[in-house]
Amino acid sequence: MEQKSTQNKSKRGGLRVNAGRKVDTGLFGEPTSVIRVPESQKGVVKDFLSAYRNKQLKQESYNHLEIVAADKSGDIALPLFTSKVAAGFPSPADDHIEKRLNPNDFLIDQQDATFFVTISGLSMRDAGLLPNDKAVVDRSKIPAIGDIVLAVIDSEYTIKMLAKTKQNQPRLLSANPDFAPIEIKEGQQFEIWGVVTGSFRRFK
Amino acid sequence: MEQKSTQNKSKRGGLRVNAGRKVDTGLFGEPTSVIRVPESQKGVVKDFLSAYRNKQLKQESYNHLEIVAADKSGDIALPLFTSKVAAGFPSPADDHIEKRLNPNDFLIDQQDATFFVTISGLSMRDAGLLPNDKAVVDRSKIPAIGDIVLAVIDSEYTIKMLAKTKQNQPRLLSANPDFAPIEIKEGQQFEIWGVVTGSFRRFK
DNA sequence: ATTTTGATTGTTGTTACAATAATCAAATGG
DNA sequence: CCATTTGATTATTGTAACAACAATCAAAAT
């Protein structure tokens, strides 16, 4: 392998006095250091850090979280294309329009039991719920194991997947390995506020 | 220093089969791991961790003692949560809901230029677009670098993020490391059919 | 029966390291 | 001569490793 002396590689390169990555060009624009955190809080800390990064980028403050009631007025049904192929699908000329779709109808079953909540944090990332997405919460649905729910634990609201322990106690799972499951212990206030039946977002 | 053979130390000790510190006897009662944080936020994270520790302690006394009911009110302030960003957000009492949101208004700008497409495949997974999601495609928007677009390459349709090469040729990026970028070569038919301005889905 | 002591094993803050990323300028190619 | 390629250089970043510390055990000593 060695060919130090007989190398005939190209003669590019050589000393670069001022080369190299510049300082503070990392994610945070400042030096970092490591810190030890309990396994179960890893996700929380990471969430905080990514929010901190965003805050640095755009001077915006953290999005204020609030529950918003659903308004289903207006009646627009727009074309929906079919696509069954993974990489591509045939030209959506007008004859490929399968049907028309009204997002309001698609998303909302019981208008007066439906609310929207803005997602914050990455704890449901792998379920496709990203920060700033709107989650559709239906209070009239009966929660089942496996559902994504809006739960209240000691008056803290959180969106998690509903599961149960072997002792049939509620257990809330994140969709992100950085976040530990939450077990509801005796004496804790716990309520399932509603079932997350859908979500929507804007990209642009 | 060595005195292996001539040692006349006391004869205490010897094998201790079950000796040693017990697991999870540390500060947090659970395993820990290290994480890298920006220097300036080290204190914030440490504050959070010590508050978390207190909270754990308190929780414990709740479960085992019955005389602590008095200080239930004094909830520990978790610095990380003050910005409502990470794990929970404040209780939205039902009568505090003033705003209403109409998904159609939120998602659709130009009614007659908007179409829906059903996502298939995982190539845009990390952008939060999962199979069966509905993408909102607006044909009236002008595509910009960084936008998610519905593109047509040799009459195959695909949803990707728009980028460009150094030669200013279009380049389509997936939001999933398993998928390679697509470069548009000379002679290929290429068109940006519309800009993906949003998406929505149902969970249940 | 209590205390001392060495062995044992987990925690914890820090350092080290390898993989990646960013940047520079010489060499190359048109 | 100018844009691109290439290797060198330097910083970031997640993780592994380490050493000092802490907790626990039981044999030996008191």
In a domain, A56, yes or no: no
Query: Does residue B115 sit in the same domain as residue B187?
Result: yes
Query: Does residue A195 sit in the same domain as residue A157?
Result: yes
The CATH code of the domain that includes B184 is: 2.10.109.10
Query: Does residue A83 sit in the same domain as residue A135?
Result: no
In a domain, B11, yes or no: no
Total of domains in chain A = 2
Query: Does residue A170 sit in the same domain as residue A150?
Result: yes
Known active-site residue B123: yes
Which tokens in the block code for residue B138?
A: 């607006």
In a domain, A90, yes or no: yes
Angstrom distance (rounded) from CA A43 to CA A158: 14
DSSP string, chain A: ---TTT----------TT-SPPTT-STTSS-EEEEEEEGGGHHHHHHHHHHHHHHHHS-PPPPPP-EEEE---S---EEEE----SS------GGGEEEEE-HHHHH-SSGGGEEEEE--SSTTGGGT--TTPEEEEESSSPP-TT-EEEEEETTEEEEEEEEE-TTS-EEEE-SSTTS--EEPPTT--EEEEEEEEEEEEE--
In a domain, A84, yes or no: yes
Of the three residues B47, B68, B93, the one that is the final residue of a domain is B93
Query: Does residue B31 sit in the same domain as residue B89?
Result: yes
Q: Is the CB of B91 under 7 A from strand D?
A: no
Q: Is the CB of A144 under 7 A from strand D?
A: no
Of A13-17, A118-122, B9-13, B70-74, the least confident:
B70-74
For A:123-162, CB contacts with B below 8 A are 123, 127-130, 133-134, 136, 141, 147-148, 152-153, 155-158
Q: Which residues pair with B137 in a beta bridge?
A: B115, B196
Query: Does residue A93 sit in the same domain as residue A170?
Result: no
Q: Which residues pair with B186 in a beta bridge?
A: none
Query: Does residue B184 sit in the same domain as residue B123?
Result: yes
Query: Does residue B117 sit in the same domain as residue B183?
Result: yes
In a domain, B127, yes or no: yes
Q: Which domain holds residue B118?
A: 104-200
pLDDT at position B76 over 70: no
Of the three residues B74, B93, B112, the one that is the final residue of a domain is B93
CB-based contacts of B81: which residues, under 8 Å, 6+ apart?
A: B87, B88
Which tokens in the block code for residue A93?
A: 């000329």
| A202 CB within 8 Å of a chain B CB | yes
Query: Does residue B109 sit in the same domain as residue B81?
Result: no
A74 neighbors A104 (Cβ within 8 angstroms)? yes
For A:5-34, CB contacts with B below 8 A are 28, 30-34
What is residue B80's three-state secondary structure? helix
Q: Which residues pair with A161 in a beta bridge?
A: A148, A173
Residue pLDDT, tens place only, B138-173: 999 999 888 999 988 887 788 998 887 767 778 888
CA of A8 to C1' of C20 (A): 28
Of A117-121, B30-34, B108-112, the least confident:
A117-121
More confidently predicted of B67 and A59: A59
Q: Using CA coordinates, name the residue in chain A closest to B85.
A: A120
Q: Is the CB of A31 under 7 A from strand D?
A: yes
In a domain, B10, yes or no: no
Query: Does residue A92 sit in the same domain as residue A114?
Result: no
Query: Does residue B22 sit in the same domain as residue B63?
Result: yes
In a domain, B109, yes or no: yes
Known active-site residue A123: yes
State mean pLDDT over A15-35.
86
> What pLDDT, on the 0 to 100 scale, is given for residue B154?
81
> What pLDDT, on the 0 to 100 scale, is given for residue B90?
29
- Of B81, B191, B126, B152, the C-alpha closest to A91 is B152
Sign of CA dihedral B122, B126, B131, B134: negative
Residue pLDDT, tens place only, B105-137: 889 998 888 888 888 888 888 899 998 899 999
In a domain, A177, yes or no: yes
Of the three residues B53, B70, B93, the one that is the final residue of a domain is B93
> What pLDDT, on the 0 to 100 scale, is given for residue A55?
66
Q: Is the CB of A3 under 7 A from strand D?
A: no
Query: Does residue B88 sit in the same domain as residue B108?
Result: no
Residue pLDDT, tens place only, A145-155: 999 998 888 76
